[in-house]
Structure 1
Amino acid sequence: MDLKAHVFAELGDLINVYKQLHANPELSGQEAMSSKLVADQLEACGIVVTRNFGGHGVVGVLENGDGPTVMVRGDMDALPITEETGVDYASSSRVTDNSGNEVGIMHACGHDIHMTTLVGTARVLSKCKNHWNGKVIFVGQPAEEVGAGAKGMIESGLFNKFGCPDYCLTTHVIPHVEAGRITIKSGPIMAGIFQLKIIVRGVGGHGAIPHESKDPIVLAARIVTSLQTIISREISPLTPAVITIGSIHGGTRANIIPAEVVMEATVRFSDQDTEKQILKAIERTCRFEALSMGIQENNLPIIEFDETMHLPATINDSDLVDIVRESANENIGHENVMEAEMLMVSEDFSLFRSAGGPKISSCMFFTGAVAKEELNLCRAQNTKPPSLHNSRFCPPPEPTIKTAVTVMAGSVLKIMQ
């Protein structure tokens, strides 16, 4: 079978699909048009489609005799960013956010490429059914950016209704790798995440009489500094982990010591043991920094765990990585297949791996998404291409889509053969 010829035959129309998706982005939980487009495209391939599953989720099932079950996932939501790419298919969509501000919407994380890859893989597999046996579950997933989409589909009974896959596959664009190439690795490839709100309590008073107060701003500053030593002095330097205090609010005027300060933290980790170690260390640090300032037991910091932003690390299983790597070597050339570096960003694709009980063999590979000419120019100028979540992020459609679809479809075929 000439996989590359099949992909090339679809490429022109897939680029049109991509441009339509790029020009009409939708925020998390609002993916009505994107969901309909993906569902319509899958149905046009003869795939049995269930719409609006777990929100705006799409599930397409393509069965072709006895064999393994493979899930292919593409996420669909965009970001509240005003696009500045200047391309003729740029988004002009705008929306009012929860604060009443009008903001632009943009596919600044490549989910338009991911949806197009899902559609392209479905087209290729539906047209070469004499070359594979088994079942493919195509999942168009909403709300990845807010960590809610995979959970919503799983809790709605995704694997109970459509069958538990033997393998889960997805791709994510990466902006610092040349289009036409992929990167891949076994083990953790994206970090897990949990988020906390830390309410630092003290005793308010006059700024000129600090000894009659317990200053929560000073305590918050001590906690922020001490939290960084958890990573630098308690976690092995060889273990990826990050603690970031991204928000801190307290006080109203210069001469008023407030009663409390509220901080928000994001924590990234590569394995469950490290996650538990960091959480315990944060709790210990907050408690004993407060006690060292004379804060009473009934007024110690309150730590609130944000269950809506808690995801495990994205783990690539070596058996499936070997299959994807072999497929990529055969179809795009071994010179275009590189070892990935773990990213400390997080992905809710990680939830599918354990959603069926026993661990499901899973793999995410990164698809290069910057033109060779732009990458060379950046290197010459000692700069970097626009990153994910940047208003100027814009993958070159033809090589990016061609590579992603070729590797994805080729990997499914290799499993199914």
Structure 2
Amino acid sequence: MSNESPGRNARADDVLAGLAGIRSELEDFYRDLHAHPELGHQEHRTAARVAQRLTDWGYRVHEGVGGTGVVGVLTNGDGPVLLLRADMDALPVREETGLPYASAVTATDTSGRDVPVAHACGHDMHVTCLLGAARLMSASPQSWRGTLVALFQPAEEPGDGADRMLADGLADLVPRPDLALAQHVLPYPSGHLGTRSGSFLSAADNLKITVHGRGAHGSAPQAAIDPVVMASMIVVRLQTIISRELAATQPAVLTVGSIHAGTTGNVIPDSAEIQLNVRTYDEGTRADVLAAVRRVVEAECDASRATRDPQYEEGGRFPPTVNDDAVTREVSAAFTAYFGERAHTSELQSASEDFSRIPDALGIPYTYWGIGCIDPETYRAAEERGTVAQDVPVNHSARFAPVLQPTLDTGVQALVVASLTRLAHPDDERP
């Protein structure tokens, strides 16, 4: 793919000159990985294939970090230390893309259930792009100096992969990075990419709430305290927290994704279970929304004469992704110089990630950006019809899969261009 933008980084051109020679191999690797997805903490095949390639390219490789994580370290003289991260795990989703390399894999999840598995979030693309960048950087030592850390993280979807790598001594395995970078495919046109200073992804809190009533025969509701009605009133009232307690300029999302009670239509059960998810962008909003959830639940339980206090079980929590302003400006400028009008400012995203736990724990700045992955003609046609929301599959959809090109090239190019904003120029005076 040619680029005609002024101000291009000559070192990036030198490194990326090798992309044409490895493109076919990367595409084959991606198709194979897409057809062989693995759930979080089960990424054994993926990790082994990643580790072998890093070893072949001269990286010092650490395997089994946090279970199935892989870290490759390539030192190329004195200079800054840069960490690049890709996530490896797939989702319990049955793929419906119709691709010739679509997944037909099933696996056993943590609860012991057999589930279909698919790369419905694009992590296979992230892995392939980082491998491509890692190979090109190792093949071009004349274009940079410093240390490159290529980190392949397990279990982003359950939200504990980064924590497990840190708990397993990640900080002692690698030289302390000066900066961390990461990217994610998003449902906008392939070939485009977007950066954003400050808040980029939301924090997420998952909560399971059990409310308690008194069971009875369905024909005698007067003998019961109906937890189904209680839970239903709670679900309805929860919707007013965002719409009536937060300013319109204060973004947040509250979704009740599961409500369960009873086993048959003519028996009023003793309890009901609600599972919800809260997305916020700052700690103050998060605290306010979670406090409001408890207030609503307890008030409705009191109004319904619940037989016991509600029970709360906190699920996984994802931190917010808040990009460093100075780093993001630097990377954004490099993207604009290299990609031209295909680089833009991204909208605030309501998805969540655990990537930031790594740089936060290491005490280093980071930036995280999005790369488009939808066929440009498909996206343009949907945009003209006003049906993007209906016709463009989003991450986690059974129909979601990045169009192979130019997504793959763009992801490799972005990692190389961003890396060279920080890794030292080979002609720089050594300290």
What whole-Å deviation, never above 9, does each CA across 1:43-63 have from its counterpart, x for those lacking one? Answer: 122110011111110011111
Q: Aligned partners of 1:11 and 1:67: how far apart in 2?
A: 29
What whole-Å deviation, never above 9, does each CA across 1:350-383 have from its counterpart, x for those lacking one? Answer: 2123112x3x211111111012222233334443
2:245 pairs, out of 234, 239, 243, with 234
Give the match for residue 322 of structure 2.
315
Displacement of 1:144:
1.0
Give the match for residue 369 of structure 1.
373
Shifted more, 228-237 versus 376-385: the winner is 376-385
What whole-Å deviation, never above 9, does each CA across 1:121-140 have from its counterpart, x for those lacking one? Answer: 11121122233222221111
Q: Aligned partners of 2:403 and 2:415: how far apart in 1?
A: 18
1:404 pairs, out of 394, 407, 411, with 411
Displacement of 1:101:
6.0
Q: Aligned partners of 2:26 and 2:195: how far apart in 1?
A: 24
Counterparts of 1:278-357 in structure 2, within 5 Å, are: 278-295=289-306, 299-306=308-315, 309-333=316-340, 335-356=341-362
Give the match for residue 168 of structure 1.
180
Displacement of 1:272:
1.4
Retained in 2: the 8 A contact 1:4–1:331? no
Displacement of 1:209:
4.1
Helix, strand or coil: the match of 2:18?
helix
Retained in 2: the 8 A contact 1:159–1:165? no
Q: Aligned partners of 1:108 and 1:213: how far apart in 2?
A: 44
Shifted more, 5-14 versus 281-290: the winner is 5-14
Helix, strand or coil: the match of 1:231?
helix
Q: Aligned partners of 1:86 and 1:212: how far apart in 2?
A: 53
Retained in 2: the 8 A contact 1:64–1:129? yes
Counterparts of 1:97-246 in structure 2, within 5 Å, are: 97=109, 102-175=114-187, 177-246=188-257
State TM-score, norm by structure 1: 0.92
Retained in 2: the 8 A contact 1:11–1:398? no
Give the match for residue 5 of structure 2.
none
1:17 pairs, out of 25, 29, 46, with 29
Shifted more, 5-14 versus 135-144: the winner is 5-14
Q: Which amino acid aligns with 1:301?
A: P
Q: Closer, same or farther in 2 for the Cα pair 1:82/1:285, shift >3 Å?
A: closer
Q: Aligned partners of 1:107 and 1:44: how far apart in 2?
A: 26
What whole-Å deviation, never above 9, does each CA across 1:150-177 have from its counterpart, x for those lacking one? Answer: 11101111123313322111110012x2
Tell me, which stretches of 5 or more residues in structure 1 are unaligned?
Answer: none
Retained in 2: the 8 A contact 1:324–1:407? no
Displacement of 1:404:
0.9
Q: Which amino acid aligns with 2:381?
A: L
Provide the aligned C-alpha RMSD in A. Answer: 2.0
Aligned residues: 409
Q: Aligned partners of 1:391 and 1:212: how far apart in 2?
A: 45
Retained in 2: the 8 A contact 1:311–1:350? no
Retained in 1: the 8 A contact 2:44–2:68? yes
Q: Aligned partners of 1:93 and 1:40: how far apart in 2?
A: 23
Retained in 2: the 8 A contact 1:74–1:114? yes
Displacement of 1:39:
0.9
State TM-score, norm by structure 2: 0.89
Q: Aligned partners of 2:17 and 2:86: how far apart in 1?
A: 23
What is the percent sequence identity of the aligned residues? 39
Q: Which amino acid aligns with 1:304?
A: E
Q: Closer, same or farther in 2 for the Cα pair 1:209/1:393, shift >3 Å?
A: closer
Displacement of 1:100:
6.8
What whole-Å deviation, never above 9, does each CA across 1:18-75 have from its counterpart, x for those lacking one? Answer: 1221122112111111101111111122110011111110011111233222110011
Q: Aligned partners of 1:66 and 1:272: how far apart in 2?
A: 39
Displacement of 1:394:
2.6
Retained in 1: the 8 A contact 2:16–2:136? no
Q: Aligned partners of 1:127 and 1:96: how far apart in 2?
A: 39
Tell me, which stretches of 5 or more residues in structure 2 are unaligned?
Answer: 1-10, 425-431
Shifted more, 219-228 versus 51-60: the winner is 219-228
